[in-house]
């Protein structure tokens, strides 16, 4: 049984690498001059010693693998990061099409009202978006919800802790091969994380699913929080219901007993938000 599991893992890893290497040439060509400049400056400051291959090319962003340089030690917030620590570098896309989609999350988000009204400028918007993910990640971190630690933001480039080992990113829950017991455990952790995000961090993820949860060292790690909104956002309830439905849909195919969407929603909301 373990052999099957290992083979599946190996296949998954290989598939990942294949995808990245095939697309790498195209991706790198697409890096616009501004992005190249930011990455160049970060290298020059020795924030990273090496910027390596790409981990993911999504519709929202590309994520690259990098190793830290000693430049991070000069910055108060990152002075504890050792040299050669693995990093994930998320570069948000500036294309106008991506933006239209983001509006429904930014509209009604009081943290961003000023930026939004003054920010018809796509470059400003994408920076705001990156800043939002940084702040949301910080909040998760501050409240003990497992997520990558955000380290540095430069324009629309977010540098964070890499989740994985020896250069291999942790699999998304969607791709991970878990035993039935591990799946039960993942389910409970997922429900607890969703609840903690709401009651402690006062955030609704907005895209909470097996695609944005990583499975690392037997723990659920929450990622992709750029679209997450404050709990009092006008559409927070709607987004939270969808998040609960995603959890139910995924785990109802994997576990014997799972909460209904309503029961999970009630569990998340039970005590409202903590002070």
Answer yes or no: 207 catalytic: yes
Q: What would the x/- binding string for Mn ion be over residues 192 to 231, using CB under 5 A?
A: --------------------x-----------x-------
- Is there a contact between 206 and 108 (Cβ–Cβ < 8 Å)? no
Helix (H) or strand (E) holding 123: helix 122-142
Strands 61-68 and 48-57: antiparallel
Helix (H) or strand (E) holding 48: strand 48-57
Residue 224 is labelled as binding a ligand: yes
How many residues at the interface with ligand ATP, by CB under 6 A? 20
Q: Does 69 bind ligand ATP (CB under 6 A)?
A: no
| Least distance between ligand ATP and beta carbon 214 (Å) | 7
Contacted entry of ligand ATP, Mn ion, none for residue 169, CB cut-off 5 to 8 Å set by kind:
ligand ATP
Q: Which of the residues 70, 74, 80, 224 is marked catalytic? A: 224
Kindly give, in sequence order, each residue whose CB lies less than 8 Å from that of residue 127, ignoring residues fewer than 6 positions away: 155, 156
Minimum distance from CB of 87 to ligand ATP (Å)? 8
Half-sphere exposure (Cβ direction) of 69: Cα atoms closer than 13 Å:
13
Integer Cα distance of 146 and 194 in angstroms: 11
Q: Does 173 bind ligand ATP (CB under 6 A)?
A: no
User: Which parts are annotated binding residues for ATP?
Assistant: 90
User: Which parts are annotated binding residues for Mg(2+)?
Assistant: 212, 224
Chain contacts with Mn ion (rule: CB under 5 A) = 212, 224
Catalytically active residues, by annotation: 207, 224
């Amino acid at each position: 049984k373990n052999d099957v599991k290992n083979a599946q893992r190996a296949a998954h890893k290989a598939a990942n690498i294949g995808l990245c290497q095939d697309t790498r040439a195209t991706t790198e060509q697409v890096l616009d001059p501004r992005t190249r400049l930011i990455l160049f400056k970060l290298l020059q400051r020795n924030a990273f010693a090496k910027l390596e291959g790409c981990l993911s090319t999504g519709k929202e962003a590309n994520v690259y693998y990098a190793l830290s340089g000693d430049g991070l030690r000069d910055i108060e917030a990152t002075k504890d990061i050792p040299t050669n620590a693995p990093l994930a570098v998320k570069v948000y896309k500036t294309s106008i099409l991506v933006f239209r989609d983001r509006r429904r999350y930014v509209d009604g988000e009081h943290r961003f009202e000023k930026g939004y009204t003054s920010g018809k400028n796509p470059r400003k918007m994408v920076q705001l978006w990156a800043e939002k993910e940084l702040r949301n990640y910080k909040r998760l971190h501050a409240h003990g919800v497992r997520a990558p630690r955000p380290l540095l933001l430069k324009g629309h480039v977010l540098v964070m802790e890499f989740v994985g080992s020896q250069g291999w990113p942790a699999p998304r829950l969607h791709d991970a091969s878990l035993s039935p017991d591990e799946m039960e455990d993942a389910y409970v952790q997922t429900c607890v994380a969703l609840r903690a995000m709401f009651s402690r961090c006062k955030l609704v993820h907005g895209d909470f699913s097996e695609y944005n949860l990583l499975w690392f060292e037997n723990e659920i790690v929450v990622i992709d929080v750029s679209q997450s909104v404050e709990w009092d956002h006008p559409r927070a309830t709607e987004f939270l219901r969808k998040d609960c439905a995603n959890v139910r849909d995924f785990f109802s195919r994997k576990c014997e007993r799972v909460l209904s969407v309503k029961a999970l929603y009630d569990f998340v909301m039970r005590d409202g938000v903590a002070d």
